[in-house]
Structure 1
């Protein structure tokens, strides 16, 4: 039977117990069937406070024996080795620091960012480029020709009196060639071969104008050959000597074969060695149809053409001593004997040389040179006629060669004329500084050319060492009219105005 008073007392007791933590209820031994063992503490034991088990929610604990061989499960996030992340853009880093999200990318923001990044680099490169361009060496100035590079004489070329037989060739030194006649095939040239002998001796032993030169001992061979009497010689005696100039007079005027051989032995040690030098010199001069087998030309195996002999004569006439000897009408040898020049044209009609050559097999041959003054300039006409036959009982092979040569000389002298191509002060070109600057260049005097009707002459520039700066009037080169040889017309050219160094802008913008 229940008592309401007791019930009330119980309710009051429960209310009094509110606020106090209930004391744990003893667990009977029958309920202690398992025990929970944590494989790994969830928290640090040193800092975790133990809590009383909630009897109302505790699960039955099952006693388990730990397996020491099983793997320990991963607790917490998986840890892996990673590469450092690339640095974020400055605006993104700023957004992280200020907790402000970066503004969204737009084409304008992208362009501005790129300009800010690249502008300093571009400016730096521009400065480096400007300094490098300014410090680069300047190109060497060059002369450029603006005048016409050729001039053709008006009119029709006249007919020259070429010989009917044999071969002939005719040139004007420094200007050009009149042409040639006959088949240019190698033929014997007799004593004309002594032109090469004299040319080689002077090349190997230069002789100043008017000088006698060294003494040449006369050997037994030269004396014996002088006594033979079967060829052209001069009388000499072993043990004597003659000067180099007299030896040249002996071969070019008296056509002495014995002295030609003596010179060969003196120059090269033997005639054979000298002949080798003769053929080498012929090759150097472009004498493609010439072969020498002896220094005198007496052998018929010494052959050449009129064109080749003109090439040699033009080279020999550049030697002062050769010109002086070839122009002599006669000479006295060291024994006092006078010898007349076999070239009887010398001394007449401005003929100044060069050499005759006659044998029965070679017939009449002549290499000649003559002068002609045209337009205030003296020109040298050089020609050759070979293998000229006798024209009758009184016309010998020598006279036939002399006659043929004389006709060609007179015709060439009549054909030559002068023409003014450019006036003094005419602009003929410019000095190019290599960076676009051009300074006019003018002729310092009238430019004239010598030639004949129908002839075309060339104009070429030859520059001096051009400076980067120079005053107006400074000579910077020459204008050559003709074939470019020593006898061609050469007129100095000068700057019309000051030559100045290229400016900074020109240096900066050059590409080459």
Structure 2
């Protein structure tokens, strides 16, 4: 080959090589400068099951559910199909009224005038009601809540519905009840009236437990439903709680919530109890529905006795079994940070975590970057670099308000992805 041709070929090879190297360098630069993937907290375990088992004496039929807010569900019994609620519907009536017209404990609130419909409804012989009301008489909102929840007054439920919406009918209020149910995730619940007398008002034990947890956050509500009886100025006789025998049951610390009974519903009950465990006194919530005795049972009076007795057995068993159990130990590996490019950094708990639960209960475990007890979830962004021992998030044991949370820290130095990892990334 002539010398001139060899020199030309050499120049072309050099130019081609330079181009390839330039393209490779450009590609490497582009890879290196690409935004890094979002880091993720990956939990080592999503649940923890408490050692042992708890035998809950569920009823023979119907449906029920029990939960400790903060710890989570203890158990569910029966097919969760919508059934009539009877007067347990009044819990939602109280919830909607208190959301629109909040009360603090012992705050009487505005005065509400009795209308002609409430007086007329008070003469009905086949439903629970307050008798002796007079048109134009005024009672405080707190006293009206007592009439609603303690003796289960249907005429007061309807009166509060009309007062809340400024309407002559209850339809607008019922729409608010259904909207509140949707907001609480009560997907199998439909309200057709504010008292529960209508058989079209249906729900499940699991759905009603969601309502129980929400409404028991209301201080005024908790105070009212814990009353075995109450005297209202202007009423001829004291209010007597249909749930009085359970409220006064020794050793069970039952503080509400609402009974219900009707021929379509049988006996229904939403209840709240407490138990002191160490330095804590957790709330225990339960619902039981569709309880029926065999044979004739006018107005489900005997079915009401049945649901209360069946609930008492469940409450007693759960309170006996409830205790504090260790879930996470300080220094325990609880997960890792994934950098999205194959790199991981271990995460460890910085403190012990104990939960209040029953043997056999499955507790939820979550990791998050939020701060504060029971928050978890998203909060501050994860750092790209940190020394071993740096706190970067929280571990939460349980579910809902009152869940236990502790800080989590990186168990080794946290570093950004290496040059090689960035260069060879595929995503």
Q: Please, what TM-score do these two structures have when normalized by structure 1?
A: 0.67
Residues 1:426 and 1:169: Cα distance change in structure 2 (over 3 Å)? closer
| Pair 1:446 & 2:352 matched | yes
| Pair 1:261 & 2:177 matched | no
Question: Offset at 1:194?
Answer: 0.5
Contact persistence 1:165–1:389 (CA under 8 A): no
Measured in 2, the distance between the counterparts of 1:213 and 1:493 equals 45
Measured in 1, the distance between the counterparts of 2:67 and 2:406 equals 22
Measured in 2, the distance between the counterparts of 1:290 and 1:383 equals 17
- Write out aligned runs for 1:35-50 (5 A): none
Equivalent residue for 2:19?
Answer: 121
Residues 1:425 and 1:110: Cα distance change in structure 2 (over 3 Å)? farther
Contact persistence 2:121–2:129 (CA under 8 A): no
Contact persistence 1:193–1:302 (CA under 8 A): yes
Measured in 1, the distance between the counterparts of 2:111 and 2:411 equals 54
Residues 1:126 and 1:364: Cα distance change in structure 2 (over 3 Å)? closer
**Structure 1 counterpart SS, 2:2:** coil
Aligned residues: 405
Residues 1:125 and 1:254: Cα distance change in structure 2 (over 3 Å)? same
Residues 1:391 and 1:433: Cα distance change in structure 2 (over 3 Å)? same
Measured in 2, the distance between the counterparts of 1:504 and 1:148 equals 31
Equivalent residue for 2:256?
Answer: 353
Partner residue of 1:481 out of 379, 397, 412: 397
Question: Offset at 1:209?
Answer: 5.7
Residues 1:324 and 1:130: Cα distance change in structure 2 (over 3 Å)? farther
Residues 1:498 and 1:242: Cα distance change in structure 2 (over 3 Å)? farther
Equivalent residue for 1:178?
Answer: 75
Q: Please, what TM-score do these two structures have when normalized by structure 2?
A: 0.78
Equivalent residue for 1:137?
Answer: 35
Equivalent residue for 2:2?
Answer: 102
Residues 1:472 and 1:332: Cα distance change in structure 2 (over 3 Å)? farther
Equivalent residue for 2:383?
Answer: 467
Structure 2: gaps of 5 or more residues: 370-378
- Write out aligned runs for 1:34-433 (5 A): 102-103=2-3, 112-129=10-27, 131-133=29-31, 135-145=33-43, 147-158=44-55, 160-164=56-60, 166-173=62-69, 174-181=71-78, 186-207=82-103, 211-226=107-122, 231-233=128-130, 236-268=133-165, 269=167, 270-282=169-181, 285=184, 287=186, 290-333=189-232, 335=234, 338-344=238-244, 345-346=246-247, 348=249, 349-359=252-262, 362-374=265-277, 377-386=280-289, 387-389=291-293, 396-433=302-339
Q: Which has the larger radius of gyration?
A: 1
Equivalent residue for 1:493?
Answer: 408
Residues 1:505 and 1:157: Cα distance change in structure 2 (over 3 Å)? same
Contact persistence 1:364–1:389 (CA under 8 A): no
Contact persistence 1:343–1:353 (CA under 8 A): yes
Residues 1:450 and 1:192: Cα distance change in structure 2 (over 3 Å)? same
RMSD over aligned Cα atoms: 3.7
Measured in 1, the distance between the counterparts of 2:150 and 2:9 equals 96
Moved over 6 A (4+): 390-393
Contact persistence 1:169–1:180 (CA under 8 A): yes
Measured in 2, the distance between the counterparts of 1:493 and 1:111 equals 63
